[in-house]
Structure 1
Amino acid sequence: MAGSGPGLARQDVRFEPDERPPLPMAAGLGVQYALICLASIVLTPTVMITVAGGSTEYLSWAVFAALVISGVTTAIQARRVGRIGAGYVLIMGSTSAFIAVSVTAIEQGGPGMLAVLIIASSLVQFLLASRMALLRRVFTPTVAGTVLILIPVTLTPMILRKLAEVPAGAPTATGPLVAGVTLAVTVLVPLRFSGALRLWAPALGIVAGSLVAGLGFGIYDLSTVYEARWIGLPDLAYPGLDLSFRPEFWALLPSFLMVTLVSAMDTLGDAIAIQRVSWRRPRAIDFRSIQGAIAADGAGNLLSGLAGTVPNTTYGVGIAVAELTGVTSRAIGICVGVVFAAFAFLPKLLALIIAIPGPVVAAYFIVVVALIFVFGMKILLQEGLDYRNGLVVGVAFWLGIVFQFDWIYPEHITGAWEEFLGNGMTVGGITVILLTIFAEVTGGRRLRLKTRLSDDTWSEVDAFLVKFAARRGWDEEMETRLRAVGEETMQILGRAEAETDADDARSLLLIASSDGPAADLEFIATTDEKNVEDQLAMLSEVAAGVPVEAETPLRLLRHYASSIRHQQYHDIDILTIRVESAPQVAGDF
């Protein structure tokens, strides 16, 4: 059960989201955030376009557009526009998850087809944001984790190509030494040091590798840097939109949708993490903020597609900086957005990053894909790898690998099917989703009660829970606990209903399922009630400000339930309560 006493208050949070730090501090942190993330934002489109054989003009335009859009979406995440934006400091930037599928799209259909694929996939994020509550059983952390651990598999061919990307006539040791220095610095610095130096490890690795490449082997070509202007706009190389919808488009669309799902899950994780580090006193997770973060992610990808550049996503490094500095004010997000947009008008700085040699970039992305794999495994382990989940993940991961490298019946997979099944993320993602849906459909039958919140609703709920306990063959003690949980929950949900006009009566959906000797109850309704988990945490405080008559249902619910989770979405609340037959000591009554 979520809850926190006053002793859990964090003393290292200097400025909460609603507070405003001094302008010099906000501006300084904005520059720091931007510099840490700049290399990733610029290198992602650089790798994608150079590997795919795109023009220099298109590359310059894509980098410019990526920086501007990263700035706009970072500001939207902080400021929140309507239901778009998290309301927290979430740094947005180019995502490496799309590199493999984007390279294939450019090679087969050009930048115009890539732009349309990005626009189409962005609509999925808007759908996920608006229907997150309904899709919570299908698009699970197991799905996201499986697709994440397949991203390194799909990026491996690209990394190998960049490792060997050295000028003709260069010594044979050039690639290995340059990549080795970059990798060593990027890995060893965070292993040896902590704090701010660890956050700068990727940038230090790139600088070290570039120095070896330029001073030691002369493969860092700075001619474009000398020619670039200090301030200005790139040549207009907008690729346009290819609306022909050729077979290549439909073959690649599932891959883009799979990666978009992963991006949404990544954003979900970052939106949860930033909430954890932003407040002095722990709060329950606000899923409305997560919906806003995913919607902003979708808006960023929509803008990226329209502008002809790479998709973007949230950057977890921003969360590390927020935790390190203790400054989580929304003003920081606005400053970061302004700095990103300003960098877009500095062609010489961008040319310096674009010219970074291939082995340096490859070594940098080795660390990136390694962290992506670990992040995926963390999600899977946090979700729990029981026999069923382990079987689903194992089968999906194996199929993703063998189809990615054409190890299974390549002679039978040709034409459009070759493009469709030749991407490990597509095969693995579809596999895990289909197996998840199968497990959900064939699982234990759930009982449902759909009614309206009113003074008479309790009798319906009570009768429903009695029927549910009888069908499961539970004893009188378990039935009593279920009925007590139902009664106290209805009192809590009924508070907002008491202030609602009869014509605006809210609906209630109660879903009951069993997990061995335990019962899981989901109360789905629309309320204006404060988060129940936060209210339970307040019960431990001496002066919580909660009226005595309002405390009683909360205390009783905490006594009878073994766990309580309140998920608040836009227009709907889901109160999930687990009830076990054995008494649970969850707190003093």
Structure 2
Amino acid sequence: MVTARLRYDLKSSPPPAVLLASAAQHMGLMAVTLVFPLLVAQAAGADAATQTRYLALAMLAMGISTLLQAWGGRVFGLPQIGSGFLLPAVFTAAYLPAALAAARTGGLEAVAGLTIAAGLTQIVFSRVMGRFRPFLPIEIVGLVVMMIGIILGIVAFKLIVGFDEAHPLSLAGTGAALAALATMIVLAVWGSPRLRAMAVLVGLAAGTAFHFAAGLGAPPTGVPPAGPPDLLAWPLTWPLVWPLVTPSFEAALLPGFLAGALACTLRSFGDMVASQRANNRDWKRPDYANIEAGVLADGLGTFSAGLIGTMGLNTYSASVGLSVATEVLARRVALAVGIGWIALACLPGSTVVVMAIPRGVLGAALLFASAFIVLSGVAILGQRLLDARRTIVVGLGFLVGVSFDELPAFYAQNLSPALQSVVSSSLMLGLFTALTLNALFRIGARKSNRMAWAPAAGFPPLRQFLLDAGGIDGARADAVARLVQLAEEFATAARSLVGTREGAQEGAQVAVTTRFDEYVLELAFVWQGRPLQPGPAPTFDDGVDEDAMLNGITLLLMERIADRLTRRTLSDGRHELVCQVDQ
């Protein structure tokens, strides 16, 4: 029996049960990132009560930033704020090294002040992203999305097996994680439409129940083995205290936060492209206006987090994968998630409850979502034809990026401190490599591709020319296929068209030109001879010019295949046919 798919699109209104369950799933998946502000508070020497208040402010910051991203509106004629997608904001490892250094040097005050600076930097980045469009081709976007999925998957796997814990591969840890993952997979594949929408929530509940049923309750999610043993004994008092700290500024630590802002900008770029593709079945290319609005909201979220007193945030790639897996992409879920975190920030004891979800179980949810992110990146890469240059950009970018996690000591010892602040992760190293190679390969790149084609040589040389041109320019494979169809139709009529005015001439050639950009593929034919024009209606009557009739049919078919087709006679008497296909 095949069950019907139930999909809640961006502007849909899911039933209350689905809405609340989906919001709870995202919040459960987001909870794992609360470990970062907790580690920062511990690095600053905060006591248990201050850590509780700091986590409450962190929840408040996540809620505000998530609402900003989901808004997608304008105020007072200012630029659009937020992508409008279900794309929650969480704390990120991109800011963690710099935040830990700031916490040890200047306390939580320095973390807050430098986070404000990072947010302002990201706001500036959001205003100029469109100008860097030529340096961020779609294959690099696909590489970023794919690497984000792989990185999250590796992190998830470490959580599942209990990597760096005192008792790895334990029944309560790994066993509970596998139970949660199995539940999610079963519901996602064989469950009813409603259960599919709640697969992660049910999996989290099943894994948590398994964990505690084993009688081996581990420390809460955000507490590393060296964490305070009395966390569960924290007093249940009103947690929201603001201002907890007064922001200060440590200029010496600024470069690390600026590098984090750059990393978050590029990561949110990839997340928004993945969201655009998830919400649009006919997605073809990044919507840069929407991306700029999303990066602006991401920067405003980090700026707000600094004002509140916590560290910086970033869009959450795992939530994109979760939305695709459950097919719940409604914007209302993002609003519920944002409001939910704000409510939890005001609820006494909420930090203890949220942090008590087992680490391995959260890893299972993260691994489940990561699989969909990886596939999204691969699908983006598969949409484009890649020549040798673009293959090298993607392949070397990926391989060099992966080497970062395999050779951390090598990079730490051989990279300059300035470069280490920029290349701070496998994603950043891979992206830096791909961007550098792409910029180098753009030197001397042609704006168009040309060939002289002899109709007597047949269609194969023309077909190969178009495929090569599509790979050079990274065009969409389906759009290039339409150009090949157009060229094949023209080739059937070319021998009767090309030649002198007195008649066809063996060896006569057609000038073929392609011009590709981000939106349109253009194929132009220029030849000396007869024009390609509408012919008489098809008939079996004698005396009809068969060439003219067949050429008219060819022109009609080409008009159906192309999005735009223009014909004209040039000043030197040659004829031009220009075909355009949107990509």
TM-score by length of 1: 0.61
Q: Secondary structure at the match of 1:91?
A: coil
Match in the other structure for 2:255: 250
Q: Is the 8 Å Cα contact of residues 73 and 300 (structure 1) preserved in structure 2? A: yes
Counterpart Cα distance in 1 of 2:515 and 2:443: 19
Counterpart Cα distance in 1 of 2:74 and 2:333: 10
Residue 354 of structure 1 and its aligned partner are, at CA, apart by: 1.0
Q: Is 1:90 aligned with 2:85? A: yes
Q: Is the 8 Å Cα contact of residues 58 and 305 (structure 2) preserved in structure 1? A: no
Match in the other structure for 1:403: 404
Counterpart Cα distance in 2 of 1:300 and 1:362: 25
Counterpart Cα distance in 2 of 1:255 and 1:130: 18
The equivalent position to 1:107 in structure 2, one of 52, 75, 100, is 100
Give the 3 Å change call, closer, same or farther, for CA 119–353 of structure 1 in structure 2.
same
Match in the other structure for 1:433: 435
Residue 560 of structure 1 and its aligned partner are, at CA, apart by: 1.1
Write out aligned runs for 1:163-312 (5 A): 163-164=161-162, 172-193=170-191, 195-220=193-218, 229=236, 232-236=238-242, 238=244, 241=247, 243-246=249-252, 249-251=254-256, 253-271=258-276, 273-274=278-279, 276=280, 288-307=289-308, 308-312=310-314
Write out aligned runs for 1:142-161 (5 A): 142-151=139-148, 152-153=150-151, 156=154, 160=158
Q: Is 1:64 aligned with 2:59? A: yes
Q: Which amino acid aligns with 2:68?
A: T
Counterpart Cα distance in 2 of 1:561 and 1:86: 41
Write out aligned runs for 1:304-453 (5 A): 304-307=305-308, 308-313=310-315, 315-316=319-320, 337-406=338-407, 409=410, 412-413=413-414, 416=417, 419-420=420-421, 421=423, 423-445=425-447
Residue 410 of structure 1 and its aligned partner are, at CA, apart by: 5.6
Give the 3 Å change call, closer, same or farther, for CA 324–317 of structure 1 in structure 2.
same
Q: Is the 8 Å Cα contact of residues 83 and 292 (structure 1) preserved in structure 2? A: no
Q: Secondary structure at the match of 1:353?
A: helix
When the two chains are superposed, the root-mean-square deviation of aligned CA atoms in Å is 5.0
Residue 180 of structure 1 and its aligned partner are, at CA, apart by: 2.4
TM-score by length of 2: 0.62
Residue 136 of structure 1 and its aligned partner are, at CA, apart by: 1.3
Q: Which amino acid aligns with 1:302?
A: F
Counterpart Cα distance in 2 of 1:349 and 1:72: 20
Q: Is 1:76 aligned with 2:71? A: yes
Residue 83 of structure 1 and its aligned partner are, at CA, apart by: 4.7
Q: Is the 8 Å Cα contact of residues 224 and 351 (structure 1) preserved in structure 2? A: yes
Q: Which amino acid aligns with 1:245?
A: A
Counterpart Cα distance in 1 of 2:162 and 2:8: 47
Counterpart Cα distance in 2 of 1:365 and 1:242: 35
Per-residue displacement from partner, 1:437-457 (whole Å, max 9, x unpaired)?
Answer: 1222331157xxxxxxxxxxx
Counterpart Cα distance in 1 of 2:268 and 2:125: 11
Q: Is 1:136 aligned with 2:133? A: yes
Counterpart Cα distance in 2 of 1:365 and 1:15: 22
Number of positions where the alignment pairs a residue of Structure 1 with one of Structure 2: 454
Q: Is the 8 Å Cα contact of residues 561 and 584 (structure 1) preserved in structure 2? A: yes
Counterpart Cα distance in 2 of 1:217 and 1:306: 42
Give the 3 Å change call, closer, same or farther, for CA 381–34 of structure 1 in structure 2.
same
Give the 3 Å change call, closer, same or farther, for CA 146–290 of structure 1 in structure 2.
closer
Residue 424 of structure 1 and its aligned partner are, at CA, apart by: 1.8
Counterpart Cα distance in 1 of 2:518 and 2:154: 43
Residue 408 of structure 1 and its aligned partner are, at CA, apart by: 7.9
Q: Is the 8 Å Cα contact of residues 53 and 107 (structure 1) preserved in structure 2? A: no
Q: Secondary structure at the match of 2:72?
A: helix
Q: Which runs of 5+ in 1 are unaligned?
A: 1-11, 447-468, 478-514, 525-553, 563-580
Give the 3 Å change call, closer, same or farther, for CA 422–299 of structure 1 in structure 2.
closer
Q: Is the 8 Å Cα contact of residues 163 and 363 (structure 1) preserved in structure 2? A: no
Residue 391 of structure 1 and its aligned partner are, at CA, apart by: 0.9
Q: Is 1:34 aligned with 2:32? A: no
Fraction of identical pairs, as percent: 19
Counterpart Cα distance in 2 of 1:418 and 1:332: 39
Counterpart Cα distance in 2 of 1:435 and 1:167: 40
Q: Is 1:519 aligned with 2:512? A: no
Residue 291 of structure 1 and its aligned partner are, at CA, apart by: 3.6
Per-residue displacement from partner, 1:72-119 (whole Å, max 9, x unpaired)?
Answer: 3155236777455478752342347x33x3332343332556555654
Counterpart Cα distance in 1 of 2:159 and 2:41: 11
Higher RCO structure, 1 or 2 (CA under 8 Å, sep 6+): 1
